[in-house]
Amino acid sequence: MGYLKTCILMAGMTALFMGIGAMIGGGSGMMIALVIAVGMNVYSWWNSDKMVLRYYKAREVDQSTAPDLYNMVVQMVDNADMPMPKIYIIDNDQPNAFATGRNPENAAVAATTGLLRRLNSGEVAGVMAHELAHIKNRDTLIMTMTASIAGAISMITNFMMFMGGDRDNRMGLIGTLAVMILAPMAASIVQMAISRSREYEADRVGAEICGRPEWLASALEKIAMKASVIDNHAAEKNPSTAHMFIINPLHVHAIDGLFSTHPKTEERVRRLRAMTI
């Protein structure tokens, strides 16, 4: 069901993109915007793992430098039957984690020192399983595709602002202005909805990988509680990376509605614990 919802949302975003393109006077402006937006996002997708890991000053570890974490990830990878990702640790007191990489063969998982210190081994295993699920489900690719379309929509609306759009369209000036304002907002809402959908799916698959849904449920409760009172200064300075983390690292948390990149922790925990019944 998660994949079906994602496909429907992506189809809606694509339809929005095509509808806006039709309003532009001629196809050349749309094609230029599309080429630039796709080019920017392809570059970001290819280099996103290096960029985000460098931004958070993550350090790569192995069996000799972090044996417990390394061996735990090896076990989860074996359970998931997938390639071994690189493992990183971020020096940050807020318990949190994320996965990055363009595909399962070029992926990385990162955990903060706060996560490793504040959670027990089972809970850490649940978190790592969740991040491996993101990699296995190719969520990075899905989010890159939605980011490309959302970026193209924003760029096209900027073109409309300077080009005036198609003067023969029936919407008139007010309608065109409304589209320029509301279209990027609608694209962001769809992008966030896809992100929430992928979190639910990663919770489900992650629980299957570790074999203990309760581990991940308990971890989510602890992370959410600590993340609400412990600062993640790097994330606060770059909120566009917030959707990558297992729990929103920002202190300005949105409700579980249109503008939230993460589902409510209570609902995620409820679903996980229902798997044990």
Residues annotated as catalytic (active site), given as ranges:
131
Q: What is the pLDDT of residue 255?
A: 46
Q: What is the pLDDT of residue 196?
A: 76
Q: What is the pLDDT of residue 148?
A: 60
Identify the burial level of 199 via C-beta atoms within 10 angstroms of its C-beta, where 0-12 means exposed, 13-18 middle and 19 or more buried. buried
How do the pLDDT tens digits run along the chain, 277 residues long? 455 655 666 666 666 666 666 565 556 655 665 666 667 667 766 777 888 899 999 999 999 999 999 999 999 999 999 999 999 999 999 999 999 988 899 999 999 999 999 999 999 999 999 999 999 998 877 766 666 666 666 666 666 656 555 545 555 555 556 656 666 666 666 667 667 778 999 999 999 999 999 999 999 999 999 999 999 999 998 877 888 899 999 875 544 454 567 889 999 999 999 998 6
Helix (H), strand (E) counts: the chain:
10, 4
Distance of CA 4 to the CA centre of its chain: 18
On whether the CB atoms of residues 225 and 231 are closer than 8 A, the answer is no
Radius of gyration of the chain (CA): 20
At residue 143, the 3 state secondary structure works out as helix
On whether the CB atoms of residues 50 and 74 are closer than 8 A, the answer is no
On whether the CB atoms of residues 256 and 267 are closer than 8 A, the answer is yes
Q: What is the pLDDT of residue 173?
A: 55
pTM: 0.78
Q: What is the pLDDT of residue 51?
A: 84
CA–CA separation, 30 and 159 (whole Å):
8
Identify the burial level of 162 via C-beta atoms within 10 angstroms of its C-beta, where 0-12 means exposed, 13-18 middle and 19 or more buried. exposed
